Structure 1
């Protein structure tokens, strides 16, 4: 006979959303009740007004091992990526390569003069050779620059962000073109631009992940802070008045404007100002440099300039002004290019590497583009709305996941993205039966080893849990917003973790875990919650 446990009910409301707490309502089968050691973590004082949800199942049989509020809609943040990356990987295949071609219009004279335009046709290649390792993999760091401003620091990957454009330019030169008596155009019509979180409109062409990295080095009190930036281009430059203040002064780094609207115009400059306290130990890395980023708000304008500069390095002269808006009015009819006109192409790493990049570091723009690539492959959709609709159909047909089980607004988990634990588990179990499961599994961060789980190591303080290191492959998700109940203070609306555990017993389990609505004071509190979830994952490894 299965017993039920009734628990007291509480409620917590924030930003027009209300959730029953994990300890509220319904009945819980005692055979799937959460073990006491895990409950002790969930019942820490920091979580007294928070909502936990969890489901743990045997991957092969689907047997529910533990269950807590798994039917409730909860904030999952970037755990949403397990859906977008899985569907895209199934649709395109792990070995798919994106081909970015360059075409000439007009004829090439005997002296190497192209009397016409040169056109780069964007393919949606996320890295464009800018993160290419020698072994063909995409270079990653555990603190990716895409979150440098929100987290307060980053570690830059080492490959040259302009390497792909230099390769294309060298091929153009090798094709016999020495001068372009026309213009250089970026054909960015692969999909309709979509807005990324109020920052800019994403297009299917990238240089350095649509970021300019600013590197800040250490200096003595009263001195200017040494700085540099990459990529170097006439499209955008950086100036700084940042100085080092006393050891007791506050860290205050201002980027003006963080979202520059001048890209495509001459003399587009970003300014860094403020104060760095002497003796500062940088967050995350505990060492200099400090990294901040400006957003490339006009990707096609920026890429056009970068490509013209790469052509110049390859010995190809372009008569058109290098800094100008991308002249889309010069493009021919979409899809009208002839293979005889092709003069260069860039081939991406295998698609499994893109998925690995998106999941390991939780690359949000990459996840949104991944959804768009799925829509294109699935039914030719070129809009975000169309891709979301295509995904909804696929989740219903292939994974038996109802639209009532989730609310997705993009491919990355932005804003009030929700799902219930059962939907996440259904996706994880469904992917385990697909041909692309191995690269999907390998794309997940690994507990205590790499990606966004690299620094989750508190569990190792307990020798009985230390063996969990390397055995948890799971996607993370963090959603911080303003706490409307305490104006001016943040709240962790969702910290989620979901994936696979190769348990101590030898069996593989799928799990979903999230806590919603945790009052916090800043990033250190978020990291504490993150560590607690890592400890719970380690406990699951031990218990199963």
Structure 2
């Protein structure tokens, strides 16, 4: 058989590290940050460390376990760069199992084998979503293939069959940011549903999928309404049919409405999309689509490699994760860690590799709970101190420059309204994090004296909500950026900025 595939108070006058003549003074840093974070309600964990000196400059609730949201991606990407390396690449392969007859008929199956590549989309291929599949089809045509008598097999067995991690809320599973993990993936495992008015009032709207995949199912209960009145289209998941249900109304004069949603079965979606591109290129598939998940295996007679696609380097993938906070990419990388180093592409084994990496770089994992790679799980738990210590350790790691460059750069990436103080722009390198009731910002900042610091600010259930949390995060980073032992910024306790 051939197989393919207890809360600490802030450091201040008492219990603080000795003041330094050449670096940030813990007493001064405490005076800067205390008015921002104290008395805000909820839980705010804050940790500030001097990188070269390796000392904490400020700690507030820093050992309290908190939900990190997308700050979990810092752990995933650090481990990925440290263990896989920035030059790691994924390989997706296409095999034929059988002989191609002179008339162009394959007496056997076509096998598409995925090994976790998250980049088979238009992101890296000139906005051509189907570039990889079109390339594969072209290679088959060069062999003279025009008909496949057998099945098209989508082999996703490199990962286990768990597509979502524990702690993912059902409200997140419809949309693009809840995309499932799979060893065989396509278009970030999302599809755009386009809803267009029907031909007359009362008619069902037109519904189409982009990119096209014939295995996607929709129950269309929506109607076309008159020109007056608004639109009220609602979409819900229907895992029982592997598709979606659409309800509501769309005005007859409305333009098309588009919704980017996650697909239920990524491997089936990928294989279905590939079949569509094969048929458009003139290659007919007479058999069915079969998907291999998890531990499923199939015997092949004489598989022969036709073509492979090598992904961009891992560092480019890490940039997508940290600069764009891409959940799907993070989950693919986490499962890849498990597959490569533990022999099982699962959330659990990937998380174990992250813990092992933390141990390697002498970061205590006490209190950490890692359920996924993206931070979407509400069962994750870290501390602000641990996150800051991770950043300190990475600053002394051979992969630091790649890690540092993958983060959001204030004034260049992300929301331009954030971290817009002159001292912060082009200086602060950070990772954001947001979930319901959770907000986080952790990263690196160079003071006005030229000292590199790390900071981690993670809030859970802040009384005044997300806006207040973001204001606190930005104020901490901006004050550290403007800090100089000769001219400490004035305090504005009313705003915390």
Q: Would you say same fold, with TM above 0.5?
A: yes
Say whether residues 1:110 and 2:119 are aligned partners.
no
* Alpha-carbon distance change, 21 to 422 in structure 1, aligned in 2, over 3 angstroms: closer
Instruction: Verify: 1:171 aligned to 2:139, yes or no.
Output: yes
Match of 1:499 in 2: 443
Change (3 A) 1:275 1:316: closer
SS in 1 for 2:99: coil
**How far apart are the structure 1 equivalents of 2:234 and 2:224?**
9
The answer as to whether partners of 2:238 and 2:245 remain within 8 angstroms in 1 is no
- For normalisation by structure 2, the TM-score amounts to 0.80
* Alpha-carbon distance between aligned partners in 1 of 2:334 and 2:315, rounded to the nearest angstrom: 15
Work out which of the residue numbers 270, 277, 280 in structure 2 matches 1:310.
Answer: 277
Superposition pairs of residues 422-461 of structure 1, within 5 angstroms: 422-450=385-413, 453-457=414-418, 459-460=419-420
Determine which of 225, 235, 254 is the counterpart of 2:215: 235
Alignment of 1:239-254 (within 5 A): 241=223, 253-254=233-234
Aligned to 1:194, which of 142, 157, 162? 162
Aligned position for 2:76 = 84
Secondary structure in 2 aligned to 1:406? coil
What corresponds to 2:495 in structure 1?
Answer: none
**Matches of 1:471 and 1:244, distance apart in 2:** 54
Residue equivalent to 1:319: 286
Matched, 1:271 2:246: yes
Aligned Cα RMSD in Å? Answer: 3.6
Shift in Å, 1:133: 4.4
Aligned to 1:516: 460
Larger RCO, structures 1/2 (Cα 8 Å, 6+ apart): 2
Question: What is the alpha-carbon distance in structure 2 between the residues aligned to residue 217 and residue 466 of structure 1?
Answer: 46
Give 2:182's match in structure 1, choosing from 191, 196, 203.
Answer: 203
The match for 2:65 is 73
Number of the residue aligned with 2:422: 466
Report deviation, 1:348. Answer: 0.8
Q: Does the CA-based 8 Å contact 1:456-1:531 persist in structure 2?
A: no
* Structure 1 match to 2:474: 534
* Aligned length, in residue pairs: 450
Pairwise mapping of residues 368-387 of structure 1 onto structure 2 (< 5 A)? 368-387=331-350
Residue 42 (1) aligns with residue 40 (2): no
Unaligned runs of 5+ in 2: 1-5, 18-24, 174-178, 485-497
Distance of 2:209 and 2:467 partners within structure 1 = 29
Partners of 2:106 and 2:147 within 8 A in 1: yes
What is residue 298 of structure 2 aligned with on the other side? 332
Check conservation: 1:103, 1:337, Cα contact below 8 A. Answer: no
Change (3 A) 1:291 1:437: farther
CA distance in 1 between counterparts of 2:363 and 2:73 reads 15
- Name the SS for the 1:75 alignment partner: coil
Q: Distance in 2 between matches of 1:517 and 1:76?
A: 12
1:298 partnered with 2:278 = no
Post-superposition Cα deviations, 1:177-224, rounded to whole Å, max 9, x if no partner, equal: 121111100111102122412548632111221111236799xxx999
Give the TM-score normalised by structure 1: 0.73
**Superposition deviation, residue 416 in structure 1:** 3.1
Question: 1:477 corresponds to which residue?
Answer: 433
Q: Give the C-alpha shift of residue 227 in structure 1.
A: 7.9
Corresponding residue number in structure 2 for 1:9: none
Q: C-alpha displacement at 1:83, in angstroms?
A: 1.0
Residue among 370, 382, 393 paired with 1:408? 370
- C-alpha distance in 2 between matches for 1:123 and 1:183: 20
Counterpart Cα distance in 1 of 2:210 and 2:37: 43
SS in 2 for 1:419: coil
